[in-house]
Amino acid sequence: MFRQGFHITESPFFFVRYLNEIFSKRLATFMTLLEEEIIRHSSDQNTLITIGVFDGVHLGHQHLINELKKQAKERNLQSCLITFKDHPSKVLGQDDIKLILSLEERNLALSQMGLDQIIMLSFTPEISTVSATDFVGYLLDHLHMKGIVVGSDFALGRNRAGDATALRRLSHIMDFSVSVVSPVVIENQIVSSTAIRRALLSGNVSKARLMLGRNYHLRGTVQNGANRGTKLGFPTANLTLPGYLALPADGVYAAKAFLGEKEYNAVANIGSCPTFGQEEHRLEVHLLDFAGDIRGQVLKVEFVEFLRPEICFADAEALKTQISADISKARDILR
């Protein structure tokens, strides 16, 4: 660790100075990692920027992005959104947060928002040590940022010190504008990713839909199952549930299923099939008025309304009777 010829018995002053040099070089290296990522996306265009995770790309996010685009057009600037591959809270070990959308789904949703530029950055513990001032400096130097548009709860930089108030102070020194967008409120609830996760956890997919502006959905490849549904007269498509996603509460839902461009009414069950003692947590989907083998195909499932919790039935006949009732109720809802 020590340079050649250095002895611990040397003056404490020189030892402390040497350690400070090492720390400064390492911190500079960490900062350079972020700066290098930003440099890779640099251009000669002046930009108006927003920054965030945008998990769910919900109505609050959409309102913020639309305001960014509006202001960018008025000022003849490029609209630029910066987001992160991983959720900061998860990277920093602060919370085992579940995501509303996978990275691929989030990228797809953002790409449909009509932005001029989307920048995806890696988030690491080292990057979290970069100060708000340095972060803003990188944006000014390499992305020609002329302004930043953020939500009222926004903060960036080490210890989240770069909130709206701090950014406004910096803006007077570093010459950029700050615009704070008010949150979207639905039924006295501020629309947020956290609120959507809570709604899903309680099975309230209708409330989640109000905040997302669309049905909550899962997408996956249809797997081989135990064929229990087929034996009961209700064949199901079986999907494995990713552990990193925020999932609706266990239970039965009226749903929409999509195979490519084709849409089907469906009944979806999330759970572990307690009647048969199954332990694996999975999604089973019965497509109404459909016959065919779709194993190996990608199925998108939209959750429309919660029907009932998962129940352990006395026998297969009791389960069949309930499934028939579930299908009848789902048809009424989806009509």
Q: Are residues 158 and 229 in the same domain?
A: no
Confidence of residue 43 (pLDDT cuts 50, 70, 90): confident
Count of other CB atoms within 10 angstroms of residue 315: 8
218 Rama sector, left if φ>0, alpha if ψ -120 to 50, beta otherwise? beta
Do both 241 and 152 map to the same domain? no
What pLDDT, on a 0 to 100 scale, did the predictor assign at position 191? 98
pLDDT at 289 over 60: yes
Q: Determine the average pLDDT of the residues in 163-185.
A: 96
Count of domains observed in the chain: 2
Which pLDDT score is estimated for 30? 47
Evaluate whether residue 195 is within a structural domain: no
- The domain that holds 274 is classified in CATH as 2.40.30.30
Based on the domain organization, do 282 and 170 belong to the same domain? no
Residues 57 and 170 placed together within one structural domain of the fold: yes
As given in the structure block, the two tokens for residue 279 are: 């332990």
Burial tier of 140 (Cβ tally within 10 Å: 0-12, 13-18, 19+): middle
Q: For the segment 122-158, what is each residue's pLDDT rounded down to a tens digit? A: 887 777 888 999 999 999 999 999 999 999 999 998 8
Q: Tell me the pTM.
A: 0.84
The per-residue pLDDT for 13 is 43
Q: Tell me if 101 is assigned to some domain.
A: yes
Three-state secondary-structure class, residue 23: helix
Question: 237 with 287: CB under 8 angstroms?
Answer: yes
How far is it, in rounded angstroms, from Cα 181 to Cα 172? 19
284 closest CA partner among 263, 299, 264, 262: 299
Q: What is the mean pLDDT of residues 212-231?
A: 86
Domain interval for residue 84: 36-186
3-state helix, strand, coil in the chain (%, to 5): 40, 25, 35
* Position 18 in a domain: no
Q: Could you tell me the sign of the dihedral formed by the alpha carbons of 78, 61, 250, 318, in that order? A: negative
Mean pLDDT (the chain, rounded): 87
Whether pLDDT at 219 is above 80 = yes
Tokens of 255: 């749903």
* Structure tokens given for 150: 């953020």
